[in-house]
A and B are shown apart, each in its own frame.
Chain A
Amino acid sequence: MNYLKKALFLLLLCPLACKKPTEDLKIVVDNNIIKYTALIHVTDALNPSAALKNGTLTITGDNAGDLYEISGKKQFNIVNGVITIGPGPNAMPKDTSETYDVQVNVPGYNSLSKKITFTNGQMQQVVNVALTKVGNNSTGTQPGKPLPVNDQVTLNFTGTCAKRSDLVIRLSMYVFYRESDSGAAFQYLGYMDKGVITTTALETGKKYDFQVTYDGKAYNTSQLLAGTNESLSIAMGSEICNNF
């Protein structure tokens, strides 16, 4: 009978010892549906660090229907002077380049038209647009502040969803940064590919604010860089989370 008990115990041991196979597993989704992107960075021509009012982008031309905001939507809202656009998956540049006519509109500023070209193989580009105020055509554009050079730091960003704890988003977006509590304007840092960005612009031991924009909204996170390889998470709100 003792043997019988031991044998039964063996049979019962599996369900007692085994974790659920999917325990602590999350669904990881990439947001790089739009593979070719252009960051349009809009600034005041006379005062590049000034915060611009939110504006819009107007796409014109026969191929206007191919362009999307990075959220996959047709709403082109500029927030904090930043918007990311690109051709949809069915309109990616293949053998030739594709040019789009874009007009930048910010209240109080003269609208400016730009031609943005997406070329096969060049997946990212930054288009700086300096706007002049209405009634003031002075274009005393100041050169962008160069990024500092420090030791290389790798940041691993994870997009999280408050209402979907089982979902993690690997972000492919343009990142802006500033030193925390500096009061400075956000400065362009670079492009993070599938959540990863390596840069020499940051200094370990300092705390920074990071910002990305998506669907007309800005998302921020702050972190003290203790080492040269840091993991950060950005609460991405409902827009991107509802997209998956």
Chain B
Amino acid sequence: MKKLFILPLLLIVLCKNANAQISYGEELPKSVRINMGTQGIGAEFAFGVLPAVSLRAGADFIPVSANNVFSVSGFNSDSRASASFSNVHLLADFVPFKGAPGFRLVGGAGYFVNAKGKITIQPKDNYTYGDIQLNKDQVGNLNMDVNWKGVAPYLGFGLLKAFPNRAFNVNLDLGSYFLKHPDAAITATGLLAGNESQSAQLQRNLSGYRFLPVVQLNFNFKI
């Protein structure tokens, strides 16, 4: 949790630094942004700290869910997959080539306050075992839960100018967060309770799922 407080603290320090520079007569750009992309929607405050370097702090969240994306052979079931990601982040934009201000390298980190994936599988209707008809509760259900909550470094690049020349512009971010190793667990009830023993296998299968790609459009409003 400490890291959660470090980010805004850092932001305040940097803002003060930016204001200090402005007070010396060297006005550096500032903007607020609305983001839309693979991370969901969010907002950022961005400000220049050097002619080729700017910082931005913001937050994004995405709740998505889908039904019946998984099927289990021979098991007449409904499935529901859902994912919920929300983060606060602090990123730095660096323009490496003076002649190409529309190309930026972007690095930083985010703290994923919430980074969960869940798949629930449950029987679609009554189930027959021999001559016995079982209801949904007797059969039970199966949940796979994955959690990436924590700090994640970010690396990527940006296309188009970081700040609008006039009041508004649009730019693009392409990159990826590198998430922490996920915690994965299977919980199950009824006749499916034995699947809990496979949590370790699920954890192994998901150990490589650490990249959260970002393809994001930023709508910038100069302030």
Contacts and interface: CB of A to CB of B under 8 A. Distances in A.
Interface of A: 3-4, 7, 10-11, 13-14, 17-34, 68-69, 71-74, 88-89, 164, 166-168, 170, 194-195, 215, 243-244
Given A14-B213, A25-B202, A88 B132 contact: yes
B128 to A, nearest CB: 8
A21 B205 contact: yes
Interface of B: 70, 72-75, 96, 105, 129-132, 134, 138, 144, 155-157, 174-176, 190-195, 197-198, 201-202, 204-206, 208-211, 213
A21 B119 CA distance: 11
B74 A164 contact: yes
Contact of B205 (A20, A166, A170): A20
Given A33-B138, A73-B130, A27 B72 contact: yes
Contacts of A22: 70, 205
Given A194-B194, A244-B74, 17 more contacts: A3-B105, A4-B157, A7-B156, A10-B156, A10-B175, A11-B176, A18-B208, A19-B204, A20-B205, A22-B70, A29-B192, A32-B191, A33-B134, A33-B138, A88-B132, A164-B74, A168-B194
A228 to B, nearest CB: 20
A174 B130 CA distance: 19
Contacts of B174: 7, 11
A90 B88 CA distance: 52
B72 to A, nearest CB: 6
A24 B176 CA distance: 28
Contacts, number: 106
B158 to A, nearest CB: 10
A31 B194 CA distance: 10
20 contacts: A3-B105, A3-B157, A10-B156, A14-B211, A19-B205, A21-B144, A24-B205, A25-B198, A25-B201, A25-B205, A27-B192, A33-B138, A34-B132, A72-B130, A72-B132, A73-B131, A89-B132, A166-B73, A194-B194, A195-B194
A19 B129 contact: no
A58 to B, nearest CB: 17
Contact of A243 (B70, B129, B205, B208): B129
Contacts of B209: 14, 18, 21
Contacts of A18: 208-209
Contact of A19 (B130, B131, B208): B208
Contacts of B155: 7, 10
B147 to A, nearest CB: 14
Interface-centre pick from B105, B130, B201, B209 (highest chain A CB count, 10 A): B130
